[in-house]
Amino acid sequence: MIFSLPKKQLTLKETYDRYIEAVQKRDLKPLMSTVTEGKDFTFLPSLGRVISSPEGYSRFHIRWFSYPDWTIEFKLEEWCQSAEYGYFRTWHRYREKDKKGVWHEEEAYFTLIFHKEANGWKVVYDQITPIHK
């Protein structure tokens, strides 16, 4: 008889790190493994519209990850954890080349709120706030 040990759940920080790495690698599957499957979800991208489902979040990232010329760098600035929730405030610099070959840059903060669910820590809120200099 073969016994298998239960899969170890990631810590909140490990889940955040998986999220960041998935974005940098443009890898949808590990990204979405960090996102809730529940109905209580909000994404506020920098353009101001509201995406209120994990499915919409997935579609957004499929489109974004398909863009050929962009880079992003992150710097974690603050995080906090309680028994059921955790949040991260992260600075990022996003660069994207337009169709004319000109690079454009945006700095922003993004806030991720995670909820402790039965299958681990999951993103339930993502907000991007541009930094205007």
* CA of residue 80 relative to chain centroid, distance: 16
Please check the confidence at residue 3 and state whether its pLDDT lies above 60.
Answer: no
Query: Does domain 12-130 correspond to CATH entry 3.10.450.50?
Result: yes
Neighbouring residues of 80: CB distance < 8 A, sequence distance ≥ 6: 86, 87
pLDDT per position as a tens digit, 12-69: 999 999 999 999 999 999 999 999 988 899 999 988 899 999 999 999 999 999 999 9
DSSP of 40-52, one letter per residue? --EEE-TT---B-
Domain ranges across the chain: 12-130
The answer to whether residues 43 and 126 touch, using CB atoms and an 8 Å cutoff, is yes
pLDDT per position as a tens digit, 114-127: 999 998 999 999 99
Using pLDDT thresholds of 50, 70 and 90, give the confidence band for residue 8. Answer: confident
Amino acid in position 120: G
* CA of residue 61 relative to chain centroid, distance: 9
Q: What size, in residues, is the chain?
A: 133
